[in-house]
Chains A and B, each alone.
Chain A
Amino acid sequence: MTQPELLIDIQGLSFSRGSRLIFDDLSLSIPKGKVTAIMGPSGTGKTTLLKLIAGQLKPDSGQILVEGLNVHKLKRSKLYELRQKMGMLFQSGALLTDLNVFDNVAFPLREHTKLPESVIEPLVLMKLQAVGLMGARDLKPSELSGGMSRRVALARGIVLDPEMIFYDEPFVGQDPITMGVLVTLIRKLNDSLGLTSVVVSHDVDEVLSIADFVCVLSEGKIIAQGAPKELLESNSDYVNQFVKGLPDGPVPFHYSNESYQHALQKGKGK
């Protein structure tokens, strides 16, 4: 079997915030043209990993290669060139609040191309139609629901036809219909535009239904990776606990603290 071509190669990545170690010698390869899902409990640094890949954060050690380029060694201008090939869907949508929906989606085109408005308009409307929000073109971000904001942000993320797109929790707060549309859309976009998609999410069923490759993170390390089917059939306690959403298991539910009994005995109960 031939090895798939890699788009993103993370080697020996370590990153900490203050005294808290987020990633400890993490290595991960993201294949080109596939949908890769990064899953894990809250606080495992999934969003941080996306920001590290995009060069918004610097690792303590290790390197991240995107298209063979070490992201954190690139000059600002080269990094920005690389980012034009990336689309990012932020958890909050991150729309520019002083622009309406149309102008938000048109923003990357106006900043990075010299296309006339007569070309920009159909391009933007096409992307808005793809996310089902062409009728909302004149609304301001404050008039949109959380789910709608994220769909506008998705239209903005794909308007430059990027080579890779990062989704940060795309399914949170979506109604079941929109969720279904989004799941299909992510898969379709990936296949029809030849994208490489990285989806960070908690939503096990949706993610497993569209991902080609899944990686489960916990406590700064990869605890399982492989095709969705492999994960579903896994014997690992970690994977079973996460995939089935069990409260008890090796992945701690509590943020690290002193023992409950000890806290009660001290009478502080912090």
Chain B
Amino acid sequence: MNRQSIMNWVAGIGSRVLSMFASLGRMALFVLSLVPAIPYSFYRVELLVKQVYVAGVLSLPIILTAGLFVGMVLTLQGYNVLVDYNSEEAVGTMTALSLLRELGPVVTALLFAGRAGSALTAEIGLMRSTEQISALEMMAVDPLKFIFAPRFTAAFITLPMLTLLFIAMAILGGYLVAVGWLGVDEGSFWSQMQASVDWREDVINGVIKSIAFAALIAIIALYQGFDAIPTSEGVSNATTRTVVHSSLGVLGLDFILTTMMFS
């Protein structure tokens, strides 16, 4: 490797780092301009309801199905370990706590990023490439209030609700496997769960996590759509970036929140 190619390699890294910081700067400016527009989503309830339907109701099949299977698998694995110690009644507690504290918010957020986040980026990227956002500006309609704010608020409302539904479905799945199939005592299953799950410590913390994930995913998805190069390749790359960045962001943020909440 000669000196020139080493220099090119170093310059390539420098260029990537600079463009990453430039993108972060643009994202910060985007968030700063988006924040004052958010309250407007409550003035235009019909726009908000539509986005809640798109992001929330249409995500229900994947969230509920995934929840059922995650709960069933979790309970089955937990039972196999606990049965060796004759404490299989604790499987309900184990399922509920792991879902409320970690798996519920994290898996729902990952599914939401893949299902609703990617759709948001693609929709906004295509709106840009077909000049719909420019047309709104020319019609004196602020795209931040009309397009971005309702989508952001809808993510904020729907993800915590989807998370709770995911957890409820997963607990139901766990119940079916533990009580219906493996023969765990029904009374023990529910009473141990009820005794060990704390409303504030477990349920509220889980919901707080999902609210933080909603903000993260919505900002990444909306910004990637807004910043997408208005070509088919550009929109496709932006959609991929939304799923990758949101998923990694959710996992990283989960570690930080868990450290703050449970340690």
Contact = CB atoms under 8 A, between A and B. Distances in A.
A97 B139 contact: no
A5 to B, nearest CB: 24
Interface residues of B, number: 13
Contacts of A107: 139
Contacts of B130: 92, 94, 97
Contact of B140 (A81, A90, A92, A96): A81
Interface residues of A, number: 24
A108 B146 CA distance: 13
B137 interface: yes
> Chain A: interface secondary structure?
mixed
A253 interface: no
B135 A94 contact: yes
A54 B135 CA distance: 11
B132 interface: yes
Contact of A83 (B127, B131, B132, B139): B139
B140 A112 contact: yes
A83 B140 contact: yes
Contacts of A112: 140
B131 A90 contact: yes
B141 A111 contact: yes
A164 to B, nearest CB: 12
A91 B131 CA distance: 9
B142 interface: yes
Contacts of B131: 90-92, 94
Contact of A108 (B132, B134, B137, B139): B139
Contacts of B134: 51, 56, 90, 94
Contacts of B132: 94-97
B138 interface: yes
A84 B135 contact: no
B163 to A, nearest CB: 27
Interface in A141-155: 153
Given A92-B130, A97-B130, A97-B132, A111 B138 contact: no
Interface in B137-175: 137-142
A88 B136 CA distance: 10
Contacts of B142: 76, 80
B139 A111 contact: yes
A56 B140 contact: no
A37 interface: no
Given A54-B138, A83-B140, 9 more contacts: A80-B140, A83-B139, A90-B131, A92-B131, A95-B132, A96-B135, A97-B127, A97-B130, A153-B135
Interface of B: 127, 130-132, 134-142
9 contacts: A54-B137, A56-B134, A80-B140, A83-B139, A83-B140, A92-B131, A94-B130, A97-B130, A111-B140
